[in-house]
Protein backbone atom coordinates (compact mmCIF):
# COMPACT_ATOMS: atom_id res chain seq x y z
CA UNK A 1 0.00 0.00 0.00
CA UNK A 2 2.84 2.40 0.85
CA UNK A 3 4.47 1.66 -2.51
CA UNK A 4 1.27 2.52 -4.39
CA UNK A 5 0.90 5.77 -2.43
CA UNK A 6 4.52 6.75 -3.16
CA UNK A 7 4.09 6.05 -6.89
CA UNK A 8 0.92 8.15 -6.93
CA UNK A 9 2.73 11.07 -5.27
CA UNK A 10 5.60 10.88 -7.79
CA UNK A 11 3.08 10.85 -10.65
CA UNK A 12 1.27 13.92 -9.27
CA UNK A 13 4.50 15.90 -8.88
CA UNK A 14 5.65 14.87 -12.35
CA UNK A 15 2.42 16.12 -13.93
CA UNK A 16 3.10 19.54 -12.43
CA UNK A 17 6.69 19.57 -13.70
CA UNK A 18 8.20 18.58 -10.34
CA UNK A 19 9.72 15.21 -9.49
CA UNK A 20 10.30 14.05 -5.91
CA UNK A 21 12.64 11.26 -4.86
CA UNK A 22 12.92 9.93 -1.30
CA UNK A 23 15.40 7.87 0.74
CA UNK A 24 18.72 9.16 -0.59
CA UNK A 25 21.73 7.78 1.28
CA UNK A 26 22.85 11.30 2.27
CA UNK A 27 19.72 13.43 2.11
CA UNK A 28 16.23 12.88 3.46
CA UNK A 29 14.67 13.87 0.14
CA UNK A 30 15.07 16.15 -2.84
CA UNK A 31 12.66 17.94 -5.17
CA UNK A 32 13.67 18.89 -8.68
CA UNK A 33 12.06 21.25 -11.18
CA UNK A 34 13.01 22.13 -14.74
CA UNK A 35 14.86 25.43 -15.23
CA UNK A 36 16.46 27.21 -18.18
CA UNK A 37 20.25 27.17 -18.24
CA UNK A 38 22.00 29.09 -21.03
CA UNK A 39 25.64 29.03 -22.10
CA UNK A 40 26.53 31.91 -24.44
CA UNK A 41 22.83 32.32 -25.19
CA UNK A 42 22.21 28.66 -26.10
CA UNK A 43 19.86 26.71 -23.81
CA UNK A 44 20.86 23.36 -22.30
CA UNK A 45 18.21 20.63 -22.22
CA UNK A 46 19.13 19.22 -18.82
CA UNK A 47 18.75 22.21 -16.45
CA UNK A 48 17.24 21.41 -13.06
CA UNK A 49 16.89 23.31 -9.79
CA UNK A 50 17.04 20.79 -6.96
CA UNK A 51 15.77 21.53 -3.46
CA UNK A 52 17.77 19.22 -1.21
CA UNK A 53 16.55 18.60 2.33
CA UNK A 54 18.71 17.31 5.15
CA UNK A 55 17.33 17.48 8.68
CA UNK A 56 14.68 20.00 7.53
CA UNK A 57 17.35 22.29 6.05
CA UNK A 58 16.66 23.24 2.43
CA UNK A 59 19.50 23.94 -0.02
CA UNK A 60 18.79 25.05 -3.61
CA UNK A 61 21.27 23.42 -6.00
CA UNK A 62 21.29 23.89 -9.80
CA UNK A 63 22.14 20.76 -11.81
CA UNK A 64 22.96 20.11 -15.46
CA UNK A 65 24.17 17.11 -17.44
CA UNK A 66 27.99 17.24 -17.33
CA UNK A 67 28.45 15.98 -20.88
CA UNK A 68 26.01 18.56 -22.23
CA UNK A 69 27.74 21.32 -20.27
CA UNK A 70 31.19 20.20 -21.40
CA UNK A 71 30.00 20.15 -25.01
CA UNK A 72 28.79 23.74 -24.73
CA UNK A 73 32.13 25.04 -23.40
CA UNK A 74 34.42 22.87 -25.52
CA UNK A 75 35.44 20.49 -22.75
CA UNK A 76 36.12 16.78 -22.33
CA UNK A 77 34.40 14.67 -19.65
CA UNK A 78 36.60 11.96 -18.18
CA UNK A 79 34.85 9.38 -15.98
CA UNK A 80 36.72 7.10 -13.62
CA UNK A 81 36.09 5.04 -10.48
CA UNK A 82 36.77 7.90 -8.05
CA UNK A 83 34.79 10.58 -9.86
CA UNK A 84 34.68 12.79 -12.93
CA UNK A 85 37.17 15.25 -14.42
CA UNK A 86 36.38 17.96 -16.97
CA UNK A 87 39.27 19.15 -19.15
CA UNK A 88 39.12 22.32 -21.25
CA UNK A 89 41.99 22.41 -23.78
CA UNK A 90 42.89 25.69 -25.44
CA UNK A 91 42.27 25.34 -29.20
CA UNK A 92 42.98 27.85 -31.96
CA UNK A 93 41.76 26.97 -35.46
CA UNK A 94 42.20 28.42 -38.92
CA UNK A 95 40.87 27.37 -42.34
CA UNK A 96 42.75 28.31 -45.50
CA UNK A 97 42.88 27.66 -49.25
CA UNK A 98 45.32 24.85 -50.20
CA UNK A 99 47.20 26.91 -52.78
CA UNK A 100 47.82 30.30 -51.24
CA UNK A 101 46.98 29.60 -47.57
CA UNK A 102 44.53 32.52 -47.67
CA UNK A 103 42.12 32.51 -44.74
CA UNK A 104 38.52 31.59 -45.60
CA UNK A 105 35.58 33.27 -43.87
CA UNK A 106 32.83 34.08 -46.41
CA UNK A 107 32.24 32.11 -49.63
CA UNK A 108 29.74 32.03 -52.46
CA UNK A 109 26.80 29.66 -52.11
CA UNK A 110 26.93 26.68 -54.48
CA UNK A 111 30.70 26.45 -54.92
CA UNK A 112 32.73 23.34 -54.14
CA UNK A 113 35.09 24.57 -51.46
CA UNK A 114 38.50 22.99 -50.91
CA UNK A 115 40.42 23.91 -47.76
CA UNK A 116 42.98 22.84 -45.19
CA UNK A 117 42.42 23.00 -41.45
CA UNK A 118 45.15 24.01 -39.02
CA UNK A 119 44.75 23.72 -35.25
CA UNK A 120 47.09 24.60 -32.41
CA UNK A 121 46.15 23.00 -29.09
CA UNK A 122 47.65 23.41 -25.64
CA UNK A 123 46.64 22.67 -22.03
CA UNK A 124 45.70 19.12 -23.05
CA UNK A 125 45.69 17.62 -19.55
CA UNK A 126 44.44 14.15 -20.48
CA UNK A 127 45.73 11.57 -22.96
CA UNK A 128 44.11 11.93 -26.39
CA UNK A 129 43.96 9.06 -28.89
CA UNK A 130 41.98 10.56 -31.80
CA UNK A 131 41.31 13.94 -33.37
CA UNK A 132 38.31 14.39 -35.65
CA UNK A 133 37.59 17.34 -37.95
CA UNK A 134 34.02 17.53 -39.24
CA UNK A 135 32.04 20.00 -41.32
CA UNK A 136 28.41 20.59 -40.35
CA UNK A 137 25.96 22.40 -42.63
CA UNK A 138 23.52 25.15 -41.48
CA UNK A 139 20.88 22.48 -40.73
CA UNK A 140 23.10 20.44 -38.42
CA UNK A 141 24.02 17.61 -40.80
CA UNK A 142 27.62 16.41 -40.98
CA UNK A 143 28.74 16.65 -44.61
CA UNK A 144 32.45 15.78 -44.35
CA UNK A 145 34.87 14.47 -41.76
CA UNK A 146 38.45 13.32 -41.23
CA UNK A 147 39.80 11.26 -38.31
CA UNK A 148 43.44 11.38 -37.24
CA UNK A 149 44.80 8.70 -34.88
CA UNK A 150 47.64 9.98 -32.73
CA UNK A 151 50.84 7.99 -32.47
CA UNK A 152 51.52 6.60 -28.98
CA UNK A 153 54.38 9.05 -28.41
CA UNK A 154 51.97 11.96 -29.05
CA UNK A 155 49.14 10.76 -26.80
CA UNK A 156 50.55 12.26 -23.61
CA UNK A 157 51.50 15.66 -25.03
CA UNK A 158 50.01 18.83 -23.52
CA UNK A 159 50.77 20.84 -26.68
CA UNK A 160 49.88 19.61 -30.14
CA UNK A 161 49.59 21.01 -33.68
CA UNK A 162 47.36 19.48 -36.34
CA UNK A 163 47.17 20.13 -40.07
CA UNK A 164 44.99 18.27 -42.57
CA UNK A 165 47.42 16.60 -44.97
CA UNK A 166 44.55 16.08 -47.43
CA UNK A 167 42.33 19.10 -48.25
CA UNK A 168 38.69 18.79 -47.23
CA UNK A 169 36.08 19.39 -49.96
CA UNK A 170 32.53 20.56 -49.29
CA UNK A 171 29.74 21.67 -51.63
CA UNK A 172 28.29 24.84 -50.07
CA UNK A 173 24.67 24.09 -50.97
CA UNK A 174 22.91 26.43 -48.54
CA UNK A 175 23.03 29.96 -47.19
CA UNK A 176 24.26 30.21 -43.63
CA UNK A 177 26.98 29.05 -41.27
CA UNK A 178 29.04 25.94 -41.99
CA UNK A 179 30.82 24.84 -38.81
CA UNK A 180 34.25 23.25 -38.98
CA UNK A 181 34.44 21.35 -35.68
CA UNK A 182 37.49 19.87 -34.01
CA UNK A 183 36.76 16.95 -31.67
CA UNK A 184 38.93 14.86 -29.37
CA UNK A 185 38.61 11.37 -27.94
CA UNK A 186 40.46 10.18 -24.84
CA UNK A 187 42.67 7.11 -24.76
CA UNK A 188 40.32 4.26 -23.85
CA UNK A 189 37.25 6.44 -24.41
CA UNK A 190 34.38 5.87 -26.81
CA UNK A 191 33.04 9.40 -27.26
CA UNK A 192 34.28 12.44 -29.16
CA UNK A 193 34.01 15.87 -27.52
CA UNK A 194 33.94 19.11 -29.51
CA UNK A 195 36.76 21.35 -28.28
CA UNK A 196 37.07 23.88 -31.12
CA UNK A 197 35.02 25.44 -33.90
CA UNK A 198 35.61 27.62 -36.95
CA UNK A 199 32.70 29.09 -38.92
CA UNK A 200 32.51 29.64 -42.69
CA UNK A 201 29.57 31.70 -43.96
CA UNK A 202 27.98 30.79 -47.31
CA UNK A 203 25.98 33.52 -49.05
Task: Output DSSP code: residue 103.
Answer: B
Mean pLDDT of 86-92: 95
Average pLDDT over residues 86-96: 95
Q: Mean pLDDT, to the nearest integer, of 43-52?
A: 88
pLDDT for 164: 87
In the chain, % of residues over pLDDT 90: 55
For residue range 110-124, list pLDDT tens digits in order: 999 999 999 999 999
Nearest-angstrom CA–CA distance, 196 and 119: 9
Q: What is the mean pLDDT of residues 184-200?
A: 94
18 by DSSP, 3-state: which?
Answer: strand
Report the alpha-carbon distance of residue 61 to residue 68 in Å, rounded: 18
Residue 165: pLDDT band (50, 70, 90) is: confident
Judged by average pLDDT, the poorest of 3-7, 23-27, 76-80, 188-192 is 3-7
CA angle 159–132–188, rounded 5-degree value: 75
pTM (two decimals): 0.77
The SS3 call for residue 28 is coil
pLDDT at 71 over 90: no
For 17-44, what is the mean pLDDT?
A: 70
**Alpha-carbon distances of 41 from 38, 71, 116, 118, rounded to whole Å:** 5, 14, 30, 28
Helix and strand numbers (H, E) in the chain are: 2, 17
Most confident of 50-54, 67-71, 167-171: 167-171
Which of the two residues, 8 and 156, has the higher pLDDT score? Answer: 156
Amino acid sequence: MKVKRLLALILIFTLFGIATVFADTVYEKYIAKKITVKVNGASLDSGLMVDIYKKDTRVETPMVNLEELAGSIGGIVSKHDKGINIYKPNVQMSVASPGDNKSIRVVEKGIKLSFNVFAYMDSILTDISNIKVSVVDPFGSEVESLVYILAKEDQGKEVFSYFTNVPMEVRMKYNGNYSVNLEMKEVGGSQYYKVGQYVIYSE
